[in-house]
Amino acid sequence: MEYRKLGRTGLLVSPLCLGTMNFGPFTTEPDGHAIMDKAHELGLNFFDTANGYGRVFGEGVTEQIIGRWFALGGGRREKTVIATKVFGKMAEWPNGSKLSALHIRRACEASLKRLQTDHIDLYQMHHVDRNTPWEEIWQAMDQLVREGKVIYVGSSNFAGWHIAHANGVAAARHSMGLVCEQSLYHLNARMVELEVIPACQHLGLGLIPWSPLGGGLLGGVLKKQAAGRRAAEGMQSAIEKNRPKIEAYEAFCAQLGEDPADVALAWLLHNPVVSAPIIGPRTLDQLTGSMRAVDIKLSVESLKKLDEIFPGPGGAAPEAYAW
């Protein structure tokens, strides 16, 4: 396993990040534990979750599943870089969500309890809070870092200017600021190439793409349809909207002799700003199947062909749309 640095930090993470959002709603706790054990066996050390995952309001079901797995011992916690998130509504009261210093503090304490650990390796803001000043946010985060409850701070779903502003305020406070951004990014969703990725490159943030397969659209969906595996109504609509591109993509993957899902992940890994795409396996087979992507080396010609099938915004702003 060739590990990558998380942005400008010295922290080494596996090139694929185990997403746990399915644990609870779609994957049972024993199966979730088996998937995490297998992930370690395969060399994956980077796991992502959130306090709102689990689809039971305010309970943090997925964090609890991970916490009970950590409690089994055997070096499970020590071998894991655990990332969780704060922002979503966790209580029916005015300060039960978003990024006030009060909520950040209480949400962190609750996540630590559910995860059965004394620290969170990467604490990510799940969304930008436009109504809370960055001085307040960094006051809360810096205090958690001083107390040893959080090691690194990251963002998710931030615009480029949010990242720049956040780290400008952090620099003025002599704190490290954001070390990574978790964004929607895949072959068919390349908007972040305009400003988010340039901001990450300039400020030394690692990019953690979520939904790297476009919700299944890039996972060989046409082949699965032909085999009689029906897609949900929303996916059917996405297929019809993107059918020419998906047909060309799956045909090209067949020429390469690779699974479409593996090519989609490999394409992301060719971008030096990407630290680790998040994979969200529901089963052990889905986990082990994803590992092929780490070994695929796409040629310059293959990367050019993928750009032709899925054109990006034209590069970074402003050159993408201006002289």
- Position 234 pLDDT exceeds 80: no
Contact between residue 29 and residue 222 where contact means Cβ atoms under 8 Å apart: no
Question: What's the pLDDT at 176?
Answer: 98
* Model confidence pLDDT, tens digit, residues 47-90: 999 999 999 999 999 999 999 999 999 999 999 999 999 999 99
Question: What's the pLDDT at 227?
Answer: 63
The total number of structural domains in the chain stands at 1
114 falls in which pLDDT band (50, 70, 90)? very high
224 falls in which pLDDT band (50, 70, 90)? confident
Where residue 106 sits, what CATH number does that domain have?
3.20.20.100
Strand partners, 12: 5
Residue 275, in any domain of the structure: yes
Question: What's the pLDDT at 230?
Answer: 55
- Position 232 pLDDT exceeds 60: yes
Residue 293, in any domain of the structure: yes
Question: What's the pLDDT at 233?
Answer: 75
218 falls in which pLDDT band (50, 70, 90)? very high
Question: What's the pLDDT at 223?
Answer: 81
Helix (H) or strand (E) holding 65: helix 61-70
Residue 136, in any domain of the structure: yes
Question: What's the pLDDT at 231?
Answer: 64
Whole-number average pLDDT of the chain: 96
Of 239, 248, 240, 191, the C-alpha closest to 215 is: 239
Of 129, 112, 213, 201, the C-alpha closest to 160 is: 201
- Position 274 pLDDT exceeds 60: yes
Residue 33, in any domain of the structure: yes
Question: Rounded to whole angstroms, how far apart are CA atoms 179 and 203?
Answer: 9
- Position 229 pLDDT exceeds 60: no
Mean pLDDT value of segment 2-28: 98
* Model confidence pLDDT, tens digit, residues 150-170: 999 999 999 999 999 999 999
Question: What's the pLDDT at 225?
Answer: 79
- Position 91 pLDDT exceeds 60: yes
Contact between residue 139 and residue 99 where contact means Cβ atoms under 8 Å apart: no
Residue 211, in any domain of the structure: yes
Residue 116, in any domain of the structure: yes
Residue 15, in any domain of the structure: yes
Q: What count of Cα atoms within 13 Å lies in the side-chain half-sphere of residue 161? A: 2
Range of the domain at 269: 4-216+260-298
- Positions annotated as catalytic residues are 53
- Position 228 pLDDT exceeds 60: no
* Model confidence pLDDT, tens digit, residues 163-203: 999 999 999 999 999 999 999 999 999 999 999 999 999 99
- Position 35 pLDDT exceeds 60: yes
Of 120, 128, 175, 192, the C-alpha closest to 155 is: 128
Residue 17, in any domain of the structure: yes
- Position 26 pLDDT exceeds 80: yes
Under DSSP, is residue 12 helix (H, G, I), strand (E, B) or coil?
strand
Q: What is the DSSP letter of 231?
A: P
Of 103, 94, 93, 180, the C-alpha closest to 136 is: 103
Mean pLDDT value of segment 28-42: 98
